[in-house]
Amino acid sequence: MSVASAELKSRIKRALIEELDLRGKHEQDIDDAAPLFGEGLGLDSLDALQLAMAIEERFGVSVPEGDAGRVVFASVEAIAEFLTRAGAEGARSSEGG
C-alpha cells in the first residue's frame, strides 16, 4: 500500500517528462509501478544522473548513490515513497499550512 499521494506522483512524472525531454509522453502514459530503466521507460545511466539532480533540486533532498540510488529510481512509486520517507519539502502540498 502506497503512502505517497497522487499529487506527488504527478509532480514526479512531470519532472521526468520535463527534465529528460520525453517527447510525446504524458503523465498518464507513465505507470506508477513500471520500471524506469530497461523494459519500462528505457532510461539509461545518463538519464539517472539527470533525474537524480532534478529530484534533488525540485524536492530539496539528497539522493543516495550506487545500489541505494537504484532502489530509489526503480519506479515513480519508489521515488514517491523515498520522498515521503525523506520528508522532502516538496513532497507535501504547500496548501493550507
| Pair 17, 28: CB distance under 8 Å | no
pLDDT digit string, tens, across residues 21-55 = 998 999 999 999 999 998 888 899 899 999 999 99
Mean pLDDT within 43-70: 91
Residue 96 has pLDDT above 70, yes or no: no
Q: What is the pLDDT of residue 3?
A: 59
Confidence band for 9, pLDDT divided at 50, 70 and 90:
very high
| Pair 41, 34: CB distance under 8 Å | yes
Mean pLDDT within 72-81: 95
